[in-house]
Amino acid sequence: MKRVKRNQRRSGKSRKPAVKSYSVDRIENGIAVLEDPDNGNPEIEVPLSALPEGLEEGDVIAFDPDQGNWAEDREEKERRLKRNQALMTSILADSKEK
Inform me whether the pLDDT recorded for 30 exceeds 70.
Answer: yes
Average pLDDT over residues 15-35: 89
What does the domain layout of the chain look like in residue ranges? 20-97
Q: Report yes or no: 4 and 10 within 8 Å, Cβ to Cβ.
A: yes
Q: Which CATH class is domain 20-97?
A: mainly beta
Q: Which residues contact 4 (CB under 8 A, 6 or more apart)?
A: 10
| Chain segment 42-97, per-residue pLDDT in tens | 899 999 999 999 999 999 999 998 888 999 999 999 999 999 999 999 998 887 77
pLDDT classification of 12: cutoffs 50, 70, 90: low
